[in-house]
Amino acid sequence: MILGTAFLIILYLILKYVLAWIEYYNNLDTRLGDSTWRFSYDYPVIGKRDISDLDDKDFVRLRRKKNKIVLFMYSIILVMFISSMSLLSKFLLFFFN
């Protein structure tokens, strides 16, 4: 249980670090928006004009970097959820046995 708790704390610190990177990328360009949890679209959306690599190369590269960081954030959250369920089951087995 101690290792599981330490693992969750380490994952939480990594998550806070990744969230700081997402905020940093959001502050670099206003077109990315302020959302932490949402991917910026890299595909044509009806009613919105998509900016291709030929239009604004720097923005497209920044958007793709932000999307990679957001994907990494979601994977950390998934691992944290699975780890917390494992820790909870160990905790319950410890007290009910």
Asked if residues 87 and 1 have their Cβ atoms less than 8 Å apart, the reply is: yes
Four-point Cα dihedral 14, 16, 19, 21, nearest 10? -70
Domains of the chain, residue spans: 2-96
Q: Which amino acid is at 88?
A: L
Number of other residues whose CB lies within 10 A of the CB of residue 15? 16
pTM beyond 0.75: the answer is yes
Distance CA 72, CA 74 (A): 5
CA 84 to chain centre: 18
At CA 77, angle to CA 74 and CA 82, rounded to 5?
A: 130
Residue with tokens 């249980």: 1
Kindly give the confidence (pLDDT) of every residue in the chain, 97 residues in length, as a single tens digit, with 9 standing for 90 and above. 889 999 999 999 999 999 999 999 989 988 787 888 887 765 555 556 556 666 677 888 888 888 899 999 999 999 999 999 999 999 999 999 8
Residues 6+ apart with CB under 8 A from 86: 4
